[in-house]
Amino acid sequence: MNGKPKQKNNLPKFNLYWLYAILIISLVFMLFRGNFGEGGFDKEVPYTTFKEYVAKGYAKSVTVNKSDGIARFIVAPAHIRDVFHQGSDDVGTAPTVSSKVPSVDKVEDFLSVAYKGSVSYEESSHFWLNLLGSTFPFLILILFYFWMFRGVNGGGGGSGGSGGIFNVGKSKARLFEKGAGLHVTFADVAGQESAKEEVQEIVEFLKNPSKYTELGGKIPKGALLVGPPGTGKTLLAKAVAGEAHVPFFSLSGSDFVEMFVGVGASRVRDLFRQAKEKAPCIIFIDEIDAVGRARGKNASFGGNDERENTLNQLLTEMDGFGTNSGVIILAATNRVDILDKALLRAGRFDRQIHVDLPDLPERIAIFKVHLRPLKYDPSLDIELLARQTPGFSGADIANVCNEAALIAARHDHITVTRQDFLDAVDRIIGGLEKKNKVMTEAEKRTIAIHEAGHASVSWLLRYANPLVKVTIVPRGQALGAAWYLPEERTITTREQMLDEICATLGGRAAEELVTGHISSGALNDLETVTKRSYGMVAYLGMSDELSNLCYYDTQEYNFTKPYSEKTAEKIDAEVHKLVNEQYARAKQLLMDNKEKHAALAQLLIEREVIFTEDVERIFGPRPWKSRADVLLEEEQQAKQKTVQVPTDNVSMTPPAIPACPSAQSISAPLEQNAAEEAPQDEKPASVLPPEIPTVAAEDDQNSETTNEQPHE
């Protein structure tokens, strides 16, 4: 990128296995040095002792080296103990005895008289061999220490390090050359259109940089993908790797940290060194919170924190004194709140791309992607599946499709049917169905009354979630459950929260009214009600005594409360008052509809599972439409208006402008308040639902309405 030709290092790389082989050979050489051919032990003795051993017949064969003036004989196996005072197991099967002789002529004269065996004479000298044998081990040790310190210095200093000793400082990033080996494109990423558009712009800049540079723009140095688990952050990164057509480095945040000090910083340097050699390229760091946690949040008792050193090196490489042009950083995390502020600043991560949970249209698109490999019923209503899975992430939807295929195969179905998908949703949310669980008639009746209470109260409340089905078949840890269709709201009003609390308390209220006692089956209901009521009072300021006040503590470690003991007493009193009011309200609704609740409970005992149609047959249709129904109706009306435009004037007629809201829709909140004060049996003639419901409480609503606590 700086215009200078890159110099390639053509020197052959040193293989660590060669060093191991040399060390092993050296050890063997040191152990058996001096006995190359025979593999025995050598004993050096004076010349007089040498002649004495030969005269006694201890020699098996004699060798005389004329150049060195050394005579050596192999000891006969029968006399090994006489010479060495040890057995052959200790000195070998062919030990030798050597001696420096006065002259070769005297040795020849002596051997011709005293030795009748074979005698051989050598002219070569073993001086260099002996010298090598004595110095070779020391040379190996010197080379080993030189290599080790060279490796440590190479891994610890400078960006051109070689990875350190044993390559522990070498980056673990996987390199994908121009999408090779990846088969993921942006077509495989459904929903998340805004996030996909942001990422596609980075890819477009790499493909066509002149389009932006002509206007004076610069490519973003980094983009951080933020969102809950399973929303598709890593999938977006894979799509970038598949379509960018530039080198793509992929690794996890935990790949930087090791047990050795300094390894994390060394790996960061090595990663960016490789990236600069491949520039322009993209580096993707998944779960960057493993290394990018804010400094000081996890206090270290030691004098040096390895993770902080790694983070400091990462900050320097991303935007330090030397800028890395052509290297783009992509990172993903679901804990952006704990990341270091220096990591999030502009110049390092110029963009934060939020990848949130998909809404209804996005879930429809995600279902279509995951239904491609499935052999499903053509009449399958994908919109119904999307409405049945509020709060589901892309990974959850993929799991639903796979689970539906497994259920269909278990039942020997030819195609995956609608019921298979509904069973899969129930299986994922509620757990495994336990049809064989033994219950007494009294327990079954109590559970039916409890679940019928939930269904009855929620049906009679305007802002309660629409009912899907009620079951008393044990599933997971629950003995029964009422399944609702939580509305995806942007904001939630006080009236909506109160209706949800009242519907949650409907089960215990029904038990007390009908059976005269209460059970442990409402444990999860009470937990949900307590948390929601406390949030309304302490966080949202939705109480009379503590209105417009928020006592939410933003600190990571809540060692102290952000309010006084007197305020805590007021919060407890307000929460107690709020819950008691809604509990009394639920009991009053059940008493006003006592016969209908009893009929619903009896039907539930007989059939074990009832659906919306059964509740509507007993209570009558609800006078209010859900927010999802209203949105779909408005969308269909807009499509119909577009279709009604004359075809011959399409090119001349401007597109239809949506109608302004009528006075009736503007006055909807007033009509809503009036409808709340009206008795439940009076149906307002024309009341539109509120335009402000919530996504934030989806998960809580889902868990509290589908996972009832088992009765004890």
Catalytic residue numbers, as ranges:
451
Q: How many helices (H) and strands (E) does the chain have?
A: 28, 16
Whose tokens are 């190996």? That residue is 140
* Residue 433, phi then psi, degrees to nearest 5: -75, 135
Q: Buried b / exposed e across 140-174, counting CB within 10 Å, b at 16+?
A: beeeeeeeeeebbebbbeeeebbbbbeebbbbebe
Closest by Cα among 567, 566, 571 to 537: 571
- Contact indicator for 348, 311 with CB cutoff of 8 Å: no
Q: Give the whole-angstrom CA distance, residue 706 versus residue 693.
A: 20
Q: Give the whole-angstrom CA distance, residue 389 versus residue 628.
A: 13
Q: Give the whole-angstrom CA distance, residue 385 versus residue 393.
A: 13
Angle between helices 594-607 and 441-460 (to 10 degrees): 130
Whether the bond between 280 and the residue before it is cis, its omega within 30 degrees of 0, is yes
For 232, the token pair is: 């598709």
Three-state DSSP class for 664? helix
**DSSP class of residue 406?**
H
Closest by Cα among 295, 294, 267, 263 to 283: 267
**DSSP class of residue 252?**
E
- Contact indicator for 416, 408 with CB cutoff of 8 Å: yes
Q: Give the whole-angstrom CA distance, residue 242 versus residue 248.
A: 9
Burial degree of 257 (CB within 10 A; 0-12, 13-18, 19+)? middle
Q: Give the whole-angstrom CA distance, residue 315 versus residue 256.
A: 14
* Torsion sign (Cα): 421, 425, 428, 430: negative
Give the end-to-end CA distance of the chain in Å, rounded to a whole number. Answer: 70
Q: Give the whole-angstrom CA distance, residue 273 versus residue 276.
A: 5
Q: Give the whole-angstrom CA distance, residue 537 versus residue 313.
A: 45
What does each C-alpha distance from 51 to 93, 112, 284 come to in angstroms?
22, 12, 80
Residues belonging to the binding site for ATP are 227-234
Residues belonging to the binding site are 227-234, 450, 454, 525
Closest by Cα among 246, 247, 332 to 287: 332
The neighbouring-strand residues paired with 333 are 226
- Contact indicator for 605, 468 with CB cutoff of 8 Å: no
Instruction: Quickly list H helices, 188-340.
Output: 193-207, 210-213, 233-243, 263-278, 289-292, 306-319
**DSSP class of residue 493?**
-
Q: Buried b / exposed e across 575-589, counting CB within 10 Å, b at 16+?
A: beebbeebbebbbeb
Residues with Cβ within 8 Å of 498's Cβ and at least 6 positions away in sequence, in order, are 578, 582
Q: Are strands 609-611 and 119-122 parallel, antiparallel or unpaired?
A: unpaired
